[in-house]
Amino acid sequence: MASDLKMALIQENFLVGDTFGNTEKIISLAKQQAQQGMDLVVFPELAITGYPPEDLLLRPAFLRQIEECIKKISHQVSGIDIVFGAPRSGTGDEAGKLFNSAFWLRDGQVLAVYDKKDLPNYAVFDEKRYFSAGQGASIVEIKGHKMALLVCEDIWQSEPAMQAMNAGAQHLLVLNASPFHQHKNQQRLAELKQRAAETGCNIFYLNMFGGQDELVFDGNSLIVASNQTLISRAAAFQADIINSVLQADGSLSSDHNAPAEQSHLADVYQALVLGVKDYVDKNAFKGVLIGLSGGVDSALTLAIAADAVGSDRVRAVMMPSRYTADMSFEDAESEAKLLGVQYQVISIEQPFEAFLETLHEPLLKGTDADTTEENIQARCRGLMLMAISNKTGFMVLTTGNKSEMAVGYATLYGDMSGGFAPLKDISKTLVYDLCRYRNSLDHVIPERVLTRPPSAELAPGQVDQDNLPPYDVIDAILEMSVEKDMPVAAIVEAGYDLDTVERIISMVQRNEYKRRQAAPGVRITRRAFGRDRRYPITSGYRRNKIK
């Protein structure tokens, strides 16, 4: 006879590699839930190691730590069932194999272990490098309710859920480390409703949250009833706990309602803020340093930084040259004041002139000014920022966006110098949308920054569109080519000029070497430069003819 089951789904932030710290967090939270009368407490996929642990999993000492941590949880958590994710080293016939597993413990005993079946090996995932696929279903009965364990990718395929249902499961408990990209929450909900329809099971979907290098995990944990009703949704981009009751008759109630999803721009902005915050804090930087130009990219980066780590941990430096417009001075100072960050002005004119003088006889004499002189200015700024970073312990945030990085409109060892790139996966057009979104919360970016033509200000009267097509054209072509892998012919059929398409794609191909040397940055699209897109630098392949 079933009775009411009180459950707590713990949406938390775990630091990759910090097995002992993560374990202490799991034990502390589990004890709190036991004191509050919960019957079952659940933690996300690979909670003990954080996700993704990558090649740490190849270190025997790391695997031994994991085994110690599982024993510690079993010894210290009692009076409540606990489920958590951790790697499992195979024994016996499975010796030498490693599994991505979910452990179910009760009063020091392991009641069940479920090994992830579907190992993702696409986009940012490469789990087949480390893990072996599991077999069979794993079902635990608690207070008369039969619950099956699944891990992340298993819920996005029909077979594991159907196998659990056929083994007698009434409910699916799904542990996840599912990274964010735009519109992913809608996709998840649709898939969960489909699994509920197929299996007739209630689904408890628990995701982690937090930033890990280029990935951001958004939380947004969900409970979906067997009739496909959304019962509960956890907060986005923050820690949360969903307390729910699975009643004796199988019906569900929760202390969380199912609020309307927030806007796409709010999701993206919060992902950027969380990505920056966790990169800075988890790597123990004192704060961040930004080269403030008066342009739109550095303005958005400054706002993200202030929101992520607090204005008192942000330093902005304006580094004007002979080409810097008065409005750039004014707007940069205004941005710094509005956000309350420390602000300095350090001219690059003297070092720039020194470089020109030093290089005049051996290189520059008798030549016309070109990108060489422009890049020297950018590198003067990069050198200054890195010097300040070395002296203060503040990490440099680069300010380049995805559009610029795609076509190589950036200077190696100049504006690309830095430790993290918040806008690395943000197109130029999305930069403007995010600025307007941020200003809708409170006005921190001067309107003129959003209306003036973008310019690197490295030459007299220079604007970006002197050398590039309009950004809305660039961004549309990049989305089709880079993110969707559409052939040239299809992009042209979508209404874009053949010469422009071939030019943009050729620029993308030529600048792979720059992107390989770029700082990591927050991933918010389905295909970012970095883990998602791994093209060779040296390549004879060219896709600049219609195919």
Q: What is the pLDDT tens value at each position of the chain, 547 positions in all?
A: 788 899 999 999 999 999 999 999 999 999 999 999 999 999 999 999 999 999 999 999 999 999 999 999 999 999 999 999 999 999 888 889 999 999 999 998 999 999 999 898 888 888 989 999 999 899 999 999 999 999 999 999 999 999 999 999 999 999 999 999 988 888 999 999 999 999 999 999 999 999 999 999 999 999 999 999 999 999 999 999 999 998 888 888 888 776 667 899 999 999 999 999 999 999 999 999 999 998 999 999 999 999 999 999 999 999 998 887 888 888 899 999 999 999 999 999 999 999 999 998 888 888 888 888 889 999 999 999 999 999 999 999 999 999 999 999 899 999 999 999 999 999 999 999 999 999 999 999 999 999 987 666 555 665 666 678 898 999 999 999 998 989 999 999 999 999 999 999 999 999 999 999 999 999 998 888 888 888 888 887 765 454 5
Known active-site residue 391: no
CATH number of the domain that 196 lies in?
Answer: 3.60.110.10
Answer whether 11's CB lies under 8 Å from 219's CB: yes
Beta strands in 194-341 (DSSP E): 202-207, 209-212, 215-218, 222-224, 230-233, 240-246, 252-254, 287-291, 314-318
Torsion of CA 6, 12, 18, 20, to 10 degrees: -30
Question: Could you say which of 12, 117, 152, 424 is catalytic?
Answer: 152
- SS3 for 222? strand
CB contact at 8 A, 221 and 178 = no
Question: Is 529 contained in some domain?
Answer: no
How many structural domains is the chain composed of?
2
Residue 268 covered by a domain: no
208 close to 177: Cβ distance less than 8 angstroms: yes
Whether residues 301 and 203 share a domain: the answer is no
Options 12, 69, 116, 424, the catalytic residue? 116
- The Cα 100–Cα 123 span in angstroms is 18
Q: How far apart are CA 472 and CA 430, in angstroms?
A: 10
User: Are residues 149 and 80 located together in one domain of the fold?
Assistant: yes
Whether residue 323 sits in one domain with residue 240: no
Domain shared by 83 and 203, yes or no: yes
| Set 45, 404, 457, 502: catalytic member | 45
Annotation marks residue 6 as catalytic: no
User: What is the rounded distance in angstroms from the CA atom of residue 105 to the CA atom of residue 99?
Assistant: 17
User: What does the alpha-carbon distance between residue 294 and residue 329 come to, in Å, rounded to a whole number?
Assistant: 6
Measured N-to-C along each axis, helices 158-166 and 184-199 cross at an angle, to the nearest 10 degrees, of: 30
* 277 and 237 part of one domain: no
Q: What is the pTM of this model?
A: 0.93
Which run of H or E residues covers position 68?
helix 60-76
Annotated catalytic residue 45 = yes
* Domain containing residue 171: 5-250
Whether residue 267 is contained in a domain is answered as no
CATH of the domain at 423: 3.40.50.620
Q: Give domain status of residue 130, yes or no.
A: yes
263 located within any domain: no
Length of the chain: 547
Looking at the structure, tell me whether residues 243 and 298 fall in a common domain.
no
Residues 302 and 206 in one domain: no
- Residue 262 belongs to a domain: no
C-alpha to C-alpha distance for 319 and 329, rounded to whole angstroms: 9
Q: What three-state secondary structure class fits 85?
A: strand
Same domain membership, residue 284 and residue 194:
no
Co-location of 245 and 282 in the same domain: no
Domain match, 226 and 292 both? no
Residue 259 lies in a domain: no
User: Same domain for 81 and 198?
Assistant: yes
277 with 395, same domain: the answer is: yes
| Main-chain dihedrals φ then ψ at residue 61, nearest 5 degrees | -65, -35
